[in-house]
Structure 1
Amino acid sequence: MKVTIVFDNTSAREDLLADWGFACVIETQNRKILFDTGADGRILMHNLQLLNIEAGGIDAVFISHNHFDHIGGLSAFLNANSQVVAYLPQSLRGVRKARSIIHIGPHPQKLADNLFTTGELEGIEQALVIPTKNGMMIFVGCSHPAMRTILQRANTFGPVYGILGGLHGFNQFELFADLKFICPTHCTQHLTEIKERFPTKVAEGGVGKVYEI
């Protein structure tokens, strides 16, 4: 699996634009997924272009939750590629341009081969779960729901290897003790503490960062 961060609060390159929000592109053996779309469509499309990621080559978009900093670029992306499958939380309505729209309720489920969701937890946010050769990888937008619940839901699909995305106010650090890969991005409030506790496991966020997992 290859993961490229395309929207984040910080940037790893001067030519890539940073802004409040998050998005990444996940490439597996048989699909390419846009996870969230950041806050600004112009910035999202700019970064995709400079990272040589063609919008038309993406076959699915997964939205974690209905907050502006995660859906702000959705319209611009769908204008460039309306042939995607859109996996949207139940609370997000009004999207009509996608080829297929699937609203996700509160229960964990398989979306497609090797593609799972925790379900929309606490009525606000879903996380994407994808298997890798090392274990299950969790992608989170802001981690508004309890992290214990996110991890428990993801673990129903298999042992969890790592997590990537916004961790908001998460501070139950012991829950990450068994993880092997931690990439805190966007809204993570306790970034310093996470780095101090897991110095060998933490990977830097920022637009342009690419990870092979």
Structure 2
Amino acid sequence: MSAMELGGRIKIIQRITVVVFFLWDAVSAYGGLGLTIAYDNSPYMEGVTADWGFSCLVTAGRKKILFDTGKDGTILFSNASKLKIDLKAINAIVISHLHEDHTGGLFPVLGIQSNATVFLPEAMPEMQQQFQALGIKNLIVEKPMQIGKGLFLTGSMGKGIREQALIINTPPGLIIIAGCSHPGIINIISRSKELLHRPVYLVIGGFHSMPGTTEGMFKIIQQFKSLGVGKVGPAHCTDEKVKAFFKAAYGKNYITMGAGKILNFSVGKK
């Protein structure tokens, strides 16, 4: 092989980015997994305030991740208190996208837990200045990333609004948590499957920009089924008519969401 040919091969290799994930499942790794909807448009538990926005606490052993922070810090703190969520114990905060209804409680939470690492899908100069002033560690997530045993981020997606989703690897399959799904919920599910090569057990969160026609909704639901999505829990920005379509299609595998909803998964549970 000539020096020129060898140099060309080296350049090709250097262009290849290999992402290696360690596929421990979160349930077994941490002895259990819990999801608590702390903020949502709809109420689920009596006494918890519903408001436009989304936030979900992921509890995996001592690992506590707050996915989005709702629109109003006061409401988030009130709901957290009623749900017995200790926001001071948060290890990490994942922001799906930089809209107010997902970031409103971010700095109030950081005000009481400045040790949490914040994962963002894109940079904003004003926000970066605030992080720097508070000494907050933050990471801009451009590519897929593993943030814990069985816990992954899709990386930033979308050509307009940059958004990321959280993926949790569990024994029966992947749990995908989406904020608003601006890049398209089908695209988010597809990327999650491509990254981890596992079936999709459950998809929850906002299913934004759904088709406005019955024919279009049937097509979307068929795509969910074709991708092997076992259960669905549409929330936040998902239109009530869209929720009705999913409920009719998924029956007992449809999970009603809302502020105060708690889902627990234990080792060996299917």
| Matching of residue 161 in structure 1 with residue 201 in structure 2 | yes
Work out whether residues 88 and 113 of structure 2, in 8 Å CA contact, stay in contact via their aligned partners in 1. Answer: yes
For 1:164, the aligned partner's letter is I
| Matching of residue 11 in structure 1 with residue 43 in structure 2 | yes
Q: Per-residue deviation at 1:130? A: 1.2
1:26 equivalent in structure 2: 58
| Matching of residue 195 in structure 1 with residue 247 in structure 2 | yes
SS in 2 for 1:153: helix
Work out whether residues 3 and 210 of structure 1, in 8 Å CA contact, stay in contact via their aligned partners in 2. Answer: yes
| Matching of residue 41 in structure 1 with residue 80 in structure 2 | no
| CA RMSD, Structure 1 to Structure 2 (Å) | 1.5
Match runs of 1:133-144 below 5 Å:
133-144=171-182
| Matching of residue 182 in structure 1 with residue 237 in structure 2 | no
Bigger strand share: 1
C-alpha distance 98-14 of structure 1, shift in aligned 2 (>3 A): farther
Q: In the comparison of the two structures, how many residue pairs are matched? A: 212
Name the TM-score, length of structure 1 as normaliser.
Answer: 0.93
Match runs of 1:85-100 below 5 Å:
85-93=117-125, 94-95=127-128, 96=131, 97=134, 99-100=136-137
C-alpha distance 3-92 of structure 1, shift in aligned 2 (>3 A): farther
Work out whether residues 180 and 206 of structure 2, in 8 Å CA contact, stay in contact via their aligned partners in 1. Answer: yes
Partners of 2:140 and 2:246 lie apart in 1 by 33
Query: Deviation string for 1:65-95 (max 9, x for gaps)?
Result: 0111000111111112111011111144514
Query: Deviation string for 1:145-198 (max 9, x for gaps)?
Result: 122321121112132211110111334111221222211100102111111111
For 2:256, the aligned partner's letter is E
For 1:162, the aligned partner's letter is L
Partners of 1:120 and 1:98 lie apart in 2 by 24
Work out whether residues 108 and 153 of structure 1, in 8 Å CA contact, stay in contact via their aligned partners in 2. Answer: no
Match runs of 1:54-73 below 5 Å:
54-73=86-105
Q: Per-residue deviation at 1:132? A: 1.2
Partners of 2:236 and 2:184 lie apart in 1 by 17
Name the TM-score, length of structure 2 as normaliser.
Answer: 0.75
1:173 equivalent in structure 2: 221
C-alpha distance 135-199 of structure 1, shift in aligned 2 (>3 A): same
List runs of 5+ in structure 1 lacking aligned partners: none
C-alpha distance 208-158 of structure 1, shift in aligned 2 (>3 A): same
| Structure 1 stretches of 4+ moved >6 Å | none
